[in-house]
Amino acid sequence: MGYNVDDLNKRRNEIIKKSVGIDYSDFENEGIGFDYTKMMESSGFTLDNIFDLQKESMVGDTPLVELKNLTNYARKYSKKGYGAKILLKDEAANLSGSFKARRAAVSIHKAKELGYKGVVAATSGNYGAAIAALAAKAGLKCIILQECFDSNNVAQPEILEKARACEAYGAEVMQLSVGPELFYTFMSVLEETGYFNASLYSPYGIMGIETLGYEIVNQVRNKYNKDPEVVICTNAGGGNLTGTARGIKKAGALGTLVYGASVDLTGLHMASDKDFNRKSFTTGHTGFGMPFAINPDRSDVPRSAARPLRYMDKYYTVNQGSVFFITEALAVLEGMERGPAGNTSLAVAFNLAQTLPENQIIVVQESEYTGAGKHHQPQLSFAKKNNIKLIFGNPLEEIPGENIIFPKSAKDIKVKEVSLDKLRKSYLKRFKDNELTHEDKVFLMEELNISLDKLNELIKQ
């Protein structure tokens, strides 16, 4: 497919407006900010609407499972009276096998409502399968674009697994090499087809996940007569955490803390041809989590509805080896074979549970299906083919792209806390040359979830 990059850039806003059905200029304020609340309300959906349409699509109302064996395993390494209950929201029970079906259900409903004949999504992950499955159910055409290969035509096994799933649901899959061609091909396909842009970062996509947070709170209340102390969300582009946190707040659980969790891939650049196949995780890692936190609007829409710094209370990273370890532990101890994304949060939860009293509850907010390419064994085989060393040792010494270090036992699973203030300062650096108005500062206080005094302190630093 041929396209002129300069011409596409000139038409970008027009293409997006036609393909999403949202005029983002309606929400812009003077200065650097925009009206986030107004943008979210513009979707026209209420939470009840979304519950209804998801139910029709065989999405939502998934089980909340107490991982009793893993909890007891964590208590083995906890001091007396500690070891919080670990609960898992089993989103693998959704149509297409992941929480992404919640996002897809709303986007597909909107596309159908607005009269589009088909949908397009640029995703190498579970969202593609979700969009493909729900488009098939709605009778819409579907095109999925994947960033799949390096320049040697070598593809990630997990991404190939997703391609098979998308094709099984009848979607057309376009596989591209790593680099900027994904975005421009995406824009070109939207323009040529006139299809709906099922963006991960639209209000539709984020509101679809609010039901997940809302369900978690009510399921915990019904079974344990309390709110969960902590909910941990695997964080990549930020939509998972944003939507879940908004749903938790709508359920009235204002004391529940929301933590982000990402696989630590420090040093690997996601747009690098060299680094592309030197990672063993295609989502839920710092290569997306960090840049999208400090610049949410780097997405395929002018203003992303995924804004994790508005909602994140703490942010943790964990190494690849620990996630593989806990993936196997979940299967062996609980009989639940699940994919790597949710197990990123589970690895963090396992460590943090040991620091919390045993009467507290920590919820792992999602799980995902696993399959031939998503399973940890093919991922590790692929790592070995790429000369990544697989060793046992201290997980904190793992060097992404060089080795994967497995903990010798569960007590060696360690996590790192990311400084939210450091992320906030990185966010603010983009505006260091701006003369900030009062309205700008009000926006930044909401955006970074801080007081005016704290904002001024960070700006000064």
On the question of pLDDT at 183 being above 80, the answer is yes
- Note whether 169 and 136 are within 8 A (CB): yes
Decide if 443 is inside a domain.
Answer: yes
State whether 310 and 250 are in the same domain.
Answer: yes
Decide if 38 is inside a domain.
Answer: no
Helix axes 157-168, 126-138, angle to 10 degrees: 0
Q: How far is residue 146's CA from residue 305's CA, in Å, rounded to a whole number?
A: 22
State whether 365 and 389 are in the same domain.
Answer: yes
φ, ψ for residue 327, nearest 5 deg? -60, -45
> What is the four-CA torsion angle of 188, 108, 17, 195, rounded to 10 degrees?
30
Q: Which two tokens stand for residue 270?
A: 């996601």
Q: How far is residue 398's CA from residue 391's CA, in Å, rounded to a whole number?
A: 9
Q: Which two tokens stand for residue 394?
A: 């201290």
pLDDT at 358: 98
In tens, the pLDDT along 341-366 reads 899 999 999 999 999 999 999 999 99
φ, ψ for residue 66, nearest 5 deg? -80, 120
Decide if 280 is inside a domain.
Answer: yes
State whether 295 and 440 are in the same domain.
Answer: no
Tell me, rounded to whole angstroms, the distance of Cα 369 from its chain centroid.
15
State whether 374 and 451 are in the same domain.
Answer: no
Q: What is the CATH number of the domain that holds 322?
A: 3.40.50.1100
| Side chain identity, residue 332 | V
Q: Which of 15-19, 269-273, 454-458 has the highest average model confidence (pLDDT)?
A: 454-458
Q: How far is residue 153's CA from residue 176's CA, in Å, rounded to a whole number?
A: 9
State whether 456 and 395 are in the same domain.
Answer: no
Decide if 327 is inside a domain.
Answer: yes
Most distant pair of Cα atoms in the chain: their distance: 65
Mean pLDDT of 434-440: 96
pLDDT at 198: 96
Q: Which helix (H) or strand (E) holds 207?
A: helix 203-224
In 3D space, the residue among 238, 234, 235 whose CA is nearest the CA of residue 295 turns out to be 238
In tens, the pLDDT along 91-100 reads 999 999 999 9
Q: Which two tokens stand for residue 319?
A: 């190494």
Q: How far is residue 273's CA from residue 259's CA, in Å, rounded to a whole number?
A: 31
In 3D space, the residue among 94, 275, 145, 128 whose CA is nearest the CA of residue 285 turns out to be 275
State whether 301 and 440 are in the same domain.
Answer: no
State whether 367 and 388 are in the same domain.
Answer: yes
Decide if 167 is inside a domain.
Answer: no
Decide if 125 is inside a domain.
Answer: no
State whether 366 and 230 are in the same domain.
Answer: yes
What residues does 392 pair with on adjacent strands? Answer: 406
Within 293-379, strands assigned E span 314-318, 361-364
User: What's the whole-number average pLDDT of the chain?
Assistant: 95
Q: Which positions ≥6 away from 242 have C-beta within 8 Å?
A: 206, 209, 305, 306, 307, 308, 310, 311
> What is the four-CA torsion angle of 414, 419, 420, 423, rounded to 10 degrees?
-120
In tens, the pLDDT along 198-222 reads 999 999 999 999 999 999 999 999 9
| Side chain identity, residue 460 | K
Decide if 330 is inside a domain.
Answer: yes
In tens, the pLDDT along 123-162 reads 988 999 999 999 999 999 999 999 998 989 999 888 998 8
437: burial class by Cβ within 10 Å (0-12, 13-18, 19+)?
middle
pLDDT at 373: 75
State whether 359 and 431 are in the same domain.
Answer: no
Confidence of residue 278 (pLDDT cuts 50, 70, 90): very high
Q: Which positions ≥6 away from 287 have C-beta within 8 Å?
A: 265, 268, 269, 270, 279
Q: Which two tokens stand for residue 263?
A: 């696989």
On the question of pLDDT at 394 being above 70, the answer is yes
Judged by phi (left if over 0) then psi (alpha if -120 to 50, else beta), residue 274 lies in: alpha
Q: How far is residue 39's CA from residue 298's CA, in Å, rounded to a whole number?
A: 17
Higher per-residue pLDDT: 163 or 270: 163
State whether 314 and 256 are in the same domain.
Answer: yes
The DSSP-derived string for 131-163 is HHHHHHHHT-EEEEEEEEE-TT--B-HHHHHHH
- Tell me the CB-side half-sphere exposure of residue 308, using CA atoms within 13 A: 32
Decide if 155 is inside a domain.
Answer: no
In 3D space, the residue among 168, 169, 170, 164 whose CA is nearest the CA of residue 146 turns out to be 164
Cα torsion angle, 126, 127, 129, 133, sign: positive
Pairing of strands 415-418, 361-364: unpaired
On the question of pLDDT at 107 being above 70, the answer is yes
Q: What range does the domain containing 264 cover? A: 53-96+204-418
State whether 432 and 378 are in the same domain.
Answer: no
State whether 305 and 454 are in the same domain.
Answer: no
Number of domains making up the chain: 2
